[in-house]
Chain A
Amino acid sequence: MATRKKGVKKGVQFTVMVVGASGTGRTTFVNTLCETGVLEHKVNDNPETAHVEEGIRIKPVNIELEEDGVRIALTIVDTPGFGDNIDNEFAFQEILGYLEREYDHVLGEESRIKRNPRFRDNRVHALLYFIPPTGHALREIDIELMRRLSPRVNVIPVIGKADSLTPQELKGFKKRVMEDIEHYDIPVYNFPYDIEEDDEDTIADNSELRALMPFAIVGSEDEIEIDGQLVRARIYPWGVVEVDNPKHSDFSRLRSALLNTHLTELKSLTHDVLYETYRTEKLSRTVHSEQDSSMLPEDLASQGMRLKEEQLRREEEKLREIELKVSREIQEKREALLAKEESLRNLESRLAAQGLNADF
C-alpha cells in the first residue's frame, strides 16, 4: 500500500503510545522497533523504597525512522508506572486525561481565528496495550483499560514476552483473549475491511493481520550470530528465540503494519472518527451543561440523600397544594360557567318570550 510522501523533508508524523505493567516487555519492544535505545530500562536501585507506590508518568520521546524509503517522525509515548500500584484507578484517569488534553489542543487550535502554522499535532494514533502472558484469559485490569480507552484511541492488544508460551498455549491464549474482547464488546482496532469495497489484496492482508491478533511479541536489544548473520535474539540455555522470525514472534508483522501499511489508516481513523466523536461530545456538553456525576464521598452522599428526601417531601406537599388549588379553581370556574349558562338560558327564554310578543 503506497503511503503519501507528505513533506519528504519533515517526514510523516506518527504517534504511538505503549501501555503495560512493568516487566511486560514495553521498553524492549520500543527499542527493538526503533532499532536503537530510545527508552531507558527501569532502574531498580533502591530496595529500601521498593514498597513506595510511584504514580504513572507519561513521557513522549521523538525519533526519526526510515521505513521503506519513507521518513517517519515517530513519537513514542511511554507510560511507566501503569499497573504497578496496588490501586491503579488513578493511572487510568491520567492516560485518558492525556489523550483528551491532546484532542483539546487540536480543538482549540482549529477554533482560532489565526491558526498557528507551526502547530504540532500530538494526538495519539495507536495505543499498544501489553497483555502479560498468563496463558489464561484477560484480567479485569486488561478489560477495563481497553474498554475505557478505545473510545479515544485505536487500541491494539499485544502479548508481551510471548516466548514464555509454547505454540499450543499461545494459540489457546490468543483465542481466549479475542473471545473476551468480543464478549465484553471492546472496540479494539482490528484491521477493518469491507468485503464489497476493498480489493482482494487489502482484504487478504487485513484478515491475515486480524487472525494474528493479539500480536505475540518478543523483543531483544542483543544480537548474536546465526549462520554468519547478525540476528536479534534472546539466548536461553535450551535454545535461541529470533525476534524477526515470524514463526517465533509476530514482531515483524506488527512493525510493518504499524509503520508501513496501516499508518495512514490509523491516522485518518484518529482524525476522522475518534477526534470527531470527541469534538461532538465536548461541544454538546458545553451547550447543555451536564450535571457533574462524580461520586461524592460517603458523608456528603448521605447528607445529599437526606436533603433530597426533604426536598422531595416539600415538593410532594407543594404538588398536593397545587392539585387542590387547581381542582378548586376548576370547581369555581365550573360553577361560574353553570351560573352564566343559567343566565343565558334566562335571557334566551326572555328573548323567546319577547320575540313571541313582538310578533303580535
Chain B
Amino acid sequence: MAAPAVGGIGIANLPNQRHKIVAKRGAHFTIMVVGESGLGKTTLINTLFSTELSSSKNYSRRHVKQLDKLTEVEIIKAELEEKSFKVKLTVIDTPGFGDYVNNRDSWSPIIDFIDDQHETYMRQEQQPQRGEKTDLRVHACLYFIRATGHTLKPLDIEIMKRLGTRVNLIPVIAKADTLTQGDLANFKQRIRAVIAAQNIRIYQPPIDPEDTQSAEHARLLADAMPFSIIGSTEDVQTADGRTVKGRQYLWGVAEVENENHCDFRKLRSLVIRTHMLDLISTTEESHYENYRQAQMETRKFGEPKVKKLDNPKFKEEEEGLRRRFTEQVKAEEARFRQWEQHLIAERDRLNKDLELAHSAVKQLEAELDNLQVGYGRGSQRR
C-alpha cells in the first residue's frame, strides 16, 4: 500500500484495497460446453485448465445411454488455485445433445438449465436473508461446431440463436486438425457469414478506445472467431525434439499451443487470461438483468415460474404406453374370439353326439316297431 501522494487524501488507494479484498475472496466461474459427442469437449476443458477435471469416458456402460434419446446436463465442480488465488470452477457438460435420429427440442434441457440458474439467483435475491447465495449462472458457453468444412447445420443455428440471447456464446471449431489451412479459412468465413445473416449473438470482447494495446488484442480475438481448436493433455515429442502438448500422428505432431496449428491460445486468453472478468460481469450485468426484466414484466413479485411439462422423452413413453395398451386390447380380443370358437366347437360336437344318439334311438324305435308289427301279426295269426 503506497503512501498517499503529496497533496492527495488517499482515495487513489481504493483500487489497491479492492484488489486485496478480491484476492482474498477468490472468484467463481461457470463455463458450459455444448456440442455433439466426440467433438473433444472434455479434452478441451482439461487442456484449458491444465488439469483432469473430467475423467476419460467410461465405455463399459455406454449401452445404457446410447438409445435413450435424451440430452443430459452434467455438473462438474473443481477448485483451482494459482499463486494463492482461488477460483471455484464449475463445468457444465451436455452429453447426448445432437446424437439422435430426431434431435428436435434436444436443446430444451440446456436452455432451461441456463434460465433456471438466472431464476434461482433471482429468487435468492428476493429472499429476506440473502447473504449466502449459490450462483451457478453460466458465464461462458463454448459451442462446438463439427469441422465439416461446409457450413453451420440447421441444428447448430437453432441452438446458437437461443444460446446467444441468454449467455456469452463463444463458438469453436472442434477437432480442427481435420481441416487443411485453406479449408479452415473458408469454413470460418462461411460460419461468420451465417452468424451474421441469422442474427446469432456471439460474445464480442469489448474494445476500449483509450487503451490501444488491449483494443488491438481484443480485435485480434474477435477476428479469429470461431476459434479452431485442437485439444490434448498429452506430452509428445515433435520432429525437432521439443516436448509439447499435442496429438501425435504418423505424419507429424499437431501442437496445441502453436498459433499456426490452432487458435487455442486465443481461446485461453479470452476465457481466462484477459477476459474472464468481462465474461463474469456481462453475465451478471447484462444477461441476468435482461432475464430479470423480462420475467418481472410478466410475473408478479414472488410468483413462481410456470413450468412446461412438455418433455419429448415423456411423449415417447406416452406413445409407448398407448401402443402397449392397444396391443393388450388386441390380445384380449383374440382370446375372446378363441373362446368363442372353442364354445362353438363344443356346441357342434355336442350337437353331433346328440345327432348320433338321436339316430341310434330312431333305429331302435324302428326295430321295435318292426318287432311289434311282427308280433302283432303273429298274435293275430293265432
Contacts and interface: CB of A to CB of B under 8 A. Distances in A.
A308 interface: yes
A89 B104 CA distance: 11
28 contacts: A22-B150, A23-B147, A24-B148, A47-B193, A50-B198, A84-B154, A86-B158, A133-B175, A133-B178, A134-B37, A136-B37, A140-B69, A176-B62, A236-B180, A236-B251, A237-B261, A238-B261, A239-B253, A247-B250, A301-B326, A302-B322, A304-B326, A305-B325, A305-B329, A316-B336, A326-B343, A329-B347, A333-B354
B77 interface: no
Interface string B28-40: 0000000011110
A87 B104 contact: yes
B100 A140 contact: yes
B78 interface: no
Given A139-B66, A163-B178, A22 B148 contact: yes
A112 interface: no
A282 B21 CA distance: 79
A176 B329 contact: no
Interface of A: 21-24, 42, 44, 47-48, 50-53, 84-89, 92, 132-141, 143-144, 161, 163-164, 166-167, 176, 180, 183, 234-242, 247-248, 295, 301-302, 304-305, 308-309, 311-312, 315-316, 319, 322-323, 326, 329-330, 333, 336-337, 340, 344, 347, 351, 354, 358
Interface of B: 36-39, 57, 59, 62-63, 66-67, 69, 99-104, 146-155, 157-158, 175, 177-178, 180-181, 190, 193-194, 196-198, 247-255, 258, 260-261, 319, 322-323, 325-326, 329-330, 332-333, 336-337, 339-340, 343-344, 346-347, 350-351, 354, 357-358, 361, 364-365, 368, 371, 375
Nearest to B326: A305
Contacts of A354: 375
Contact of B177 (A140, A236, A308, A322): A236
Nearest to B329: A308
B66 A180 contact: yes
Contacts of B66: 137-140, 143, 180
A255 B325 CA distance: 50
Given A87-B102, A137-B59, A308-B329, A143 B150 contact: no
B334 to A, nearest CB: 11
B249 A238 contact: yes
A304 B357 CA distance: 48
A236 B254 contact: yes
A138 B100 CA distance: 11
Contacts of A248: 250-251
Nearest to B195: A47
Q: Which of A88, A164, A234 has the most CB of B within 10 A?
A: A164
Contacts of A141: 99-101
Contacts of A133: 38, 175, 178
B63 A308 contact: no
Nearest to B40: A135
A161 B178 CA distance: 7
Contact of B198 (A47, A136, A240, A337): A47
Contacts of B250: 167, 247-248
B333 A301 contact: no
B188 to A, nearest CB: 13
B357 A140 contact: no
* Pairs of residues from A and B, 8 with the lowest C-beta to C-beta distance, nearest first: A134-B38, A23-B148, A239-B252, A239-B251, A238-B252, A47-B197, A47-B193, A44-B151
Contacts of A135: 38
A44 B258 CA distance: 30
B249 A140 contact: no
Contacts of A138: 66
Contact of A140 (B67, B104, B252): B67
A51 B196 CA distance: 12
A23 B150 contact: yes
Contacts of B181: 236-237
Given A135-B38, A305-B329, A336-B354, 4 more contacts: A166-B247, A238-B255, A319-B343, A322-B343
A52 B326 contact: no
A315 B57 contact: no
A144 B101 contact: yes
B173 to A, nearest CB: 12
B160 to A, nearest CB: 10
Q: Which of A51, A240, A248, A330 has the most CB of B within 10 A?
A: A51
Given A333-B354, A340-B361, A240 B67 contact: no
B356 to A, nearest CB: 11
Nearest to B177: A164
Contacts of B147: 23, 164
Contact of B178 (A164, A180, A301, A326): A164
Contacts of A305: 322, 325-326, 329
A252 B155 CA distance: 35
Contacts of A132: 38, 146
A47 B194 contact: yes
A304 B330 CA distance: 12
Contacts of B63: 180, 183
A223 B180 CA distance: 14
B340 to A, nearest CB: 6
A304 to B, nearest CB: 8
A239 B240 CA distance: 13
A191 B253 CA distance: 35
B59 A136 contact: yes
B316 to A, nearest CB: 12
A351 B358 CA distance: 20
Contacts of A240: 251-252
Given A85-B154, A312-B329, A236 B252 contact: yes
Q: Which of B330, B351, B354 has the most CB of A within 10 A?
A: B354
A312 B151 contact: no
Contacts of B260: 237
A50 B322 contact: no
B336 A315 contact: yes
B100 A301 contact: no
Nearest to B379: A358
A98 B53 CA distance: 48
